[in-house]
Structure 1
Amino acid sequence: MAERKPVRWHIAVFLAPALTVYTAIMIIPLFATLDLSLYRAVDKVTHFVGFGNFATLFGDPNWSGQFWNALWNNTWFFIVNMAVQNPIGIGLAALLSSPRLRFAAAYRTAIFVPTILSFVIVGFVWKLILSPLWGIAPDLLKAVGLRHWFAPWLGDPHYALTTIALISVWQFIGIPMMLIYAALLSIPDEVIEAAEMDGITGMSQFWKIKLPLILPSIGIISILTFVGNFNAFDLIYVAQGALAGPNFSTDILGTFLYRTFFGFQLQLGDPNMGATIATVMFAIILAGVCLYLFGIQRRLRRYQF
């Protein structure tokens, strides 16, 4: 008679606390939000409207204009971070991983420190720096002969969103730098030595040997950037307020959701439409993550050392 395998009850015991907390603060609110988006309050009476709120969000001129503006701004915010933050982070990681670089630890620390700062501190400090009245940016540019380049970027609808995105790049560039730095350090010395014996050194070694080996890490950084940018709210709220000025030029889905759900100034809060916007945000992020997991990650070749 075959020996009966013991029941591994300890697995459930160890997973129960984390699963309980995750369910309480993530799963239940998620389904509550999805449920709330299917109802509408009329004269303080709640009615089931199905996908009526989504039709209003996409088709009603009073809502669709703000939604598409926020979605485009969010997309541009992500593009700037993706095109500026991640390439620079990869370049910094490549430089800092060089064994010939002195004080590399100090440089890594200095670059990573802004990442742990509060959004409130970062937004407020950069508002002071870029202020045309009392900021230090005009004087710094004047000191290097570029005073004519200065403009009230946070007050110009054409440049405000890009300026906020670049501030976000400054704050979070340490994350891709550290992740790529760790990936570069994980490459075995034997691989590098073999490349050097074949005459592959310098930048050629990075492009031909190291870059293909760290592509999975770059993919992880890209999807983290996507999720973080489409969940953004704090920095724009601190720097530009809930109205995301000037003239809603920095309005993204996060600030649009905040104003809709909680209300702001003369705008009354609408939890049902707010939940609708939150559901659309969730769908966009879920679609992006699934595209990466099933369309891109499977094509990335992973090397086992």
Structure 2
Amino acid sequence: MKKVRAWQLLVFLAPAVIIYSMFSALPLADTLRLGFYTSNDAGVRSFVGLDNYRTILFDPDWSAAFWNAMWNNVKFFCIHMLLQNPIGLLLATLFSLKGLRGARTYRTLIFLPTLLSVVIIGFIWQLILSPLWGVGEKLMGLVGLADWFGPWLGQESTALITLSLISVWQYIGIPMMLIYAALLAVPEEVLEAAHAEGASSLRIFWQIKLPLIYPTLGLVTILTFVANFNAFDLIYSVKGALAGPNYSADLLGTYFYRTFFGYQAQIGSPTMGAAVATLMFLVILGGVGAYFVMVQRRLTRYAL
């Protein structure tokens, strides 16, 4: 084989490295830097060290909103983990069965909302769930559940849960397709040998298929974590930057938006916004790091 020279590697890697540096690494580094500064009314910036972070985490005027958004984000993630991924696993297992009629059509219909704009999804669900002109109450009345209908998007106790369920409905196709592809990759010889030994379909799933797709389940989990702690567009399109009522649906993404750009009576601050963005980055980095240390190592040892 012809030996590849160092300059050839540089030539092929240079475009990707330059683009990644310009649009990802350098903006991230500048955001981390900006979080250590503050600016006065004239726009002059001065170095303040960790003061911005102390303000966000401990100042009562800032910390209450931050920790509320953080706790809402945790609940948002937990709802996705408890509903989206298990249902995605169930659907993927169902569609991987041989002889299922209409499997392709069902997969397409379930995955279709993932391709739609979040603004469209938010607008459609606002129309459906509106107590004034929505069709949600009529649809529930068809199955005798009209008395259970309520203004779920307008109540503090249900706004976040409702938005989480809308998000689960929209994005459930992603874990379904990832897990479905993993199930199709399970060696057919192993399954045939298990059937020959008299193993039931349920036992084959729990003792053969499920262990073999653990890496994919781990990937789905970490993708869900990163996406949920970066969530912004659905909340903003349905509830606006205030994520009402009374910030009950506020996530770190909407909190960052108000802090950086300002909203209504709140004046935007790029330096404080950069500090919030840095904290979001650290939360996501910590979650991803914990996954690789606590989960990925075990999966690697299991595979070996």
TM-score by length of 1: 0.96
**Aligned alpha-carbon RMSD (Å):** 1.3
Per-residue Cα deviation, 1:67-107 (whole angstroms, up to 9, x for no partner): 00000001100000111000000000000000120111111
Displacement of 1:12 in angstroms is 1.6
Displacement of 1:43 in angstroms is 3.9
Partner of 2:7: 9
Per-residue Cα deviation, 1:199-233 (whole angstroms, up to 9, x for no partner): 11222211111001101100000000000000000
Displacement of 1:9 in angstroms is 2.5
Alignment of 1:1-305 (within 5 A): 7-44=5-42, 45-301=44-300, 303=303
Deviating more after overlay: 153-162 vs 15-24: 15-24
Judged with a 3 Å threshold, the aligned counterparts in structure 2 of structure 1 residues 8 and 48 are, in CA distance, closer, same or farther, namely closer
**3-state secondary structure, aligned to 1:144:** coil
Matches of 1:303 and 1:50 in 2, distance apart? 45
| 1:252 maps to amino acid | L
TM-score by length of 2: 0.96
What residue ranges of structure 2 are gaps of 5+ in the alignment?
A: none
Judged with a 3 Å threshold, the aligned counterparts in structure 2 of structure 1 residues 197 and 28 are, in CA distance, closer, same or farther, namely same
| Number of corresponding residues | 301
Matches of 2:69 and 2:117 in 1, distance apart? 24
Per-residue Cα deviation, 1:20-39 (whole angstroms, up to 9, x for no partner): 11111110110110111000
Judged with a 3 Å threshold, the aligned counterparts in structure 2 of structure 1 residues 79 and 6 are, in CA distance, closer, same or farther, namely closer
| 1:260 maps to amino acid | T
Matches of 2:140 and 2:251 in 1, distance apart? 30
Matches of 1:103 and 1:11 in 2, distance apart? 48
Displacement of 1:303 in angstroms is 4.6
| 1:96 maps to amino acid | F
Matches of 2:51 and 2:77 in 1, distance apart? 29
Question: Percent identity at matched positions?
Answer: 57
| 1:148 maps to amino acid | D
